[in-house]
Amino acid sequence: MSTRDTLVVGSERYLIHRIGALAPDDLPYTLRIVLENLLRHPGGDLAPVEALLRWGEPDVHKTAVDLYPSRIFLHDTNGVPVLADIAAMRHAMAELGGDPRRVNPAIPAELVIDHSVIADVFGRPDALTRNVEIEYERNAERYRFLKWGQQNLENFAVVPPGTGIMHQVNLEHLARVVMTADGWAYPDLCLGTDSHTTMVNGLGVLGWGIGGIEAEAAMLGQSLTMLIPPVVGVRLHGELPDGATATDLVLTITELMRAHGVVGKFVEFSGPGVAAIGLADRATIANMSPEFGSTCAYFPIDEETLRYLRFSGRSPDRVALVEAYAKEQGLWHEPERATAYSETIELDLGTIVPSLAGPRRPQDRVRLDAAKAGFRRAVTELGLPPRDPVPVRLGGREHRLGNGTVAIAAITSCTNTSNPAVMVAAGLLARNAVEAGLRSKPWVKTTLSPGSRVATDYLGKAGLTPYLAELGFHLTGFGCMTCIGASGPLIDEVTAAVEEHGLAVAAVLSGNRNFDGRINPDVRLNYLASPPLVVAYALAGTMDLDPLTEPLGTGPHGDPVYLRDIWPSSAQVREVVGGSLRPDMFTEVYRDVFAGDDRWHRLDVPGGETFAWDERSTYLRRPPYLDGMTAAPGRVEDILGARVLVKLGDSVTTDHVSPAGAIPPGTPAGQHLGRLGVTRFELNTYASRRGNHEVMMRGCFANVRLRNQLVPGREGGVTIDPGGDVTSVYDAALAHRAEGMPLVVLAGRDYGSGSSRDWAAKGPALLGVRAVLAESFERIHRSNLIGMGVLPLQFAPGQSAGTLGLTGHETFDIRGLAGAEPGHYPETVTIEAGGRVFEAIVRLDTVREQEYHRHGGILPFVLRDLLATEGKHR
């Protein structure tokens, strides 16, 4: 049956593939979009289409599909290594006799510079100006490189620094919802190099995070291969009660989804409660999909979607197309529609209560009324020794700080700063606090880093900016900042107290991640909270407090002031948002979104179709992955005589494997840069130096909170070398390499959770890691490992390093791989270690993944593919 048809919208006619011609009425919304993609890119294989039409049968999830995204979305710290790899591929293409211009994005690729600005300056009116100046001083070399890409690559656009966070820019401006090209209309399938690309799911756009390595392949015209996922339906009922925020809702959903188990699954929200959730709240929920573990968290298109598109400045023609296309293709939300979900979860919005999450993971929700008890319990569970408060002198006065002292209070991240309701609530709470005579505690580093300039416009219009500033929440920048670990140093006196007395201080941030060592190396306890609660904890200055029963402080006459006294009502918030947020704020902010300021214009950019690498650079080095590459892949071999580089437990995140925060001077990476003449102030962050493999290799497994079981009782990037001596992971890897020993990593459950960080796979690959043996993998990280030629192996159900008695001191022989060809890889391998013999599952789930592994990774596969078709393009 032909599905090609015409859709008429006003005076325009579009070609479409009519989904309803084949799809059953109860097919989930997300899979209807997948089906359309398969119909538009058939590839000669009808099995995926047939599998989707048999949705609900048990074997469906064993079928692989090849998806072709409509666009790729990047940020600067992931985008720089992506661009570096593409530049390296151009060099390799030329060296192998091909045309380097063939290495070029085949689909639109948009990059937003938002991860590099650091909260160095805070609590003063010129914080924004100074932080941006420092940002350009530190990162001018990287920015010139990105500008080179924009000028020399087709289909590659860059949003310059200071505009906002990528996901908020995507939501407010870049997302099309329905794409148009060459006379066709089709869904906006957006894949990004940041795991929170899912935020745009709130707008009815199907998208999720992929590794930077996968993104490069997709940019160059390759498909993304995945198994058809289960789809979990979340039916929403009721309305949020007064006093509960979207942040409280999303933290509850994160806890609920993690407990249910949605890793590798699509999640769709439906039911009558969806209409009660505004677009900004939907985006807040969708943003946290990686914290659930799900691939996406999708809200179907409805009237609220159209309202937001109009309000945020999208053209009437675009809005009309989105409405017509969604209704024609069965993508319009019908609250009572019977959808064939794999599993269904019910959630009553009326049960949501104020909450925090922490101190180490986003899914560890704590009710606000139990926050004090939760903090004390966490101190005990983390094994932190009790500390009496210690004297610290600040501003000429002595204060006493102890465990749980709030050292950072940050309104940050696209998750919540995209939401006018919670931002206005923070401003109103700040106003009420100032009028009650309260001030932030002097030991708290207070920062305001919204994801969009629109936020500062409506806060200013509402007259709330001066009150936030009075409490120290001066605008510090438009970027991820504290949420990505770019929090900058603590107040000097607080840092000294932490170092001298071992205090376990806390950060409270309105972000989406609070993993060990991410926010600040001096902060042990990290809590996610709504923006108004961030302000409240800045006033209290400690986690060792019940904000519902104990005062946040005292007024000018000595009267106690409680949170309930200054908390704004939902009606007040709605009134202020309605009176201060206008459509023209969006159109003005995004009028020249790709233009940049004078600093951007003054960046001098080298020309040429290949990039001129500078061997003296400490930011950009030509990646070595393709050095010595041959025109054809070698034979797959068994892995024999391997040693364990690190042995890790459960929930090891990509932050543990590849840190993103500040580079400490005493680490291998810091020492390497110091030897090159880089001063301590210029060390910058690991995220900013992802274009330099020499730095990133030394940063691999270097997180200050890493717990390597080969070195019990120690934290940080240490392990044992071939002689059994304790040394840095980097030095141990070099010693193993010198003796010709391949390396493996042992891990527990959910290995590689967190950010879609390609360096968490690139780093181990460059250190010589050939395989990772874990109890389970997070989806994106498993793909990244394969993309770098590292073999993901999974213990059989019920087995683990512990049950098998593996200490990590054994020599590993992994057999069964020799001579494997795509389509004929073994499902399991036999591992012999220390006299124990067991089977492990080979997690190459599709033929395409097997192909990538055989070639040694995605980059050599893509380059060989381009070389093979070179003659066709001459």
**pLDDT, tens only, 418-435:** 999 999 999 999 999 999
For residue range 43-94, what is the model confidence (pLDDT) as tens digits?
767 888 999 999 988 889 888 899 999 999 999 888 888 999 999 999 888 8
Predicted pLDDT of residue 596:
85
pLDDT score recorded for residue 873: 46
pLDDT exceeds cutoff 60 at 872: no
CA 33 vs CA 229, 262, 331, 625, 844: distances in Å:
13, 20, 8, 35, 25
What's the maximum distance between 2 C-alpha atoms anywhere in the chain? Answer: 84
* Of 718, 666, 709, 713, residue with least CA distance to 809: 709
Contact (CB, 8 A) for 729 and 688: no
Token pair, residue 591, equals 């009028």
Q: What's the pTM value of the predicted model, to 2 decimals?
A: 0.86
Each residue's pLDDT tens digit, 741-781: 999 999 999 999 877 688 999 999 999 999 999 999 988 89
Cα dist. 502→366, 715, 724 in Å?
Answer: 25, 14, 30
- The amino acid present at 648, given as its one-letter code, is L
d(CA 57, CA 75): 39
Chain centroid offset of residue 95 CA: 35
Q: What is the mean pLDDT of residues 473-487?
A: 91
pLDDT of residue 44: 67
CA-atom Rg of the chain in angstroms:
26
Yes or no: say if 228 and 63 are a contact pair by the CB < 8 Å rule: yes
Among the residues of 712-823, which ranges form H helices? 729-738, 759-767, 779-787
pLDDT-based confidence at residue 870 (cuts at 50, 70, 90): low
* pLDDT > 90: percent of the chain: 77
User: For the chain, what percent of residues have pLDDT higher than 70?
Assistant: 99
CB 280 within 8 A of CB 418: yes
* Local confidence band at 262 (pLDDT 50, 70, 90 cut-offs): very high
Torsions phi, psi of 865, nearest 5?
-65, -40
Q: Which residues contact 712 (CB under 8 A, 6 or more apart)?
A: none
Distances, alpha carbon 686 to alpha carbons 154, 213, 619, 673, 696, in Å: 29, 18, 10, 12, 7
- 125: Cβ contacts below 8 Å, ≥ 6 apart: 469, 474
Residue 286 pLDDT > 50: yes
Smallest CA-to-CA distance from 299 within 318, 280, 319, 312 is with 280
Mean pLDDT of the chain: 93
**874 pLDDT more than 50:** no
Cα 653 versus chain centre, distance: 11
In the chain, the domains with their CATH numbers are 4-55 (no CATH), 71-222 (3.30.499.10), 355-589 (3.30.499.10), 639-658+700-855 (3.20.19.10)
* Residues 146-171, mean pLDDT to the nearest whole number: 93
What lies within 8 Å, CB to CB, of 499 at 6+ separation is 522
pLDDT band at 1 (very low <50, low <70, confident <90, very high): low
Phi and psi of 91, rounded to 5°?
Answer: -65, -45
In this prediction, residue 108 carries a pLDDT of 95
Phi, psi (deg, nearest 5) at residue 92: -65, -40
**DSSP summary character for residue 240:** P
Residue 871 pLDDT: 52
pLDDT reading at 667 higher than 70: yes
Residue 414: pLDDT band with limits 50, 70, 90 = confident
Task: Give the alpha-carbon dihedral of 750, 754, 755, 756, to 10 degrees.
Answer: 20
Q: What is the pLDDT of residues 308-355, one digit of tens each?
A: 999 999 999 999 999 999 999 999 999 989 999 999 999 999 999 999
Q: Give whichever of 309-318, 373-382, 685-694 has the largest mean pLDDT.
A: 309-318
Query: What's the residue count for the chain?
Result: 874
Distance CA 841, CA 361 (A): 28
Min mean pLDDT across 35-49, 233-247, 396-410, 485-499 is at 35-49
Distance CA 713, CA 304 (A): 53
CA 175 to chain centre: 18
- Is the bond into 664 cis (omega within 30 degrees of 0)? no
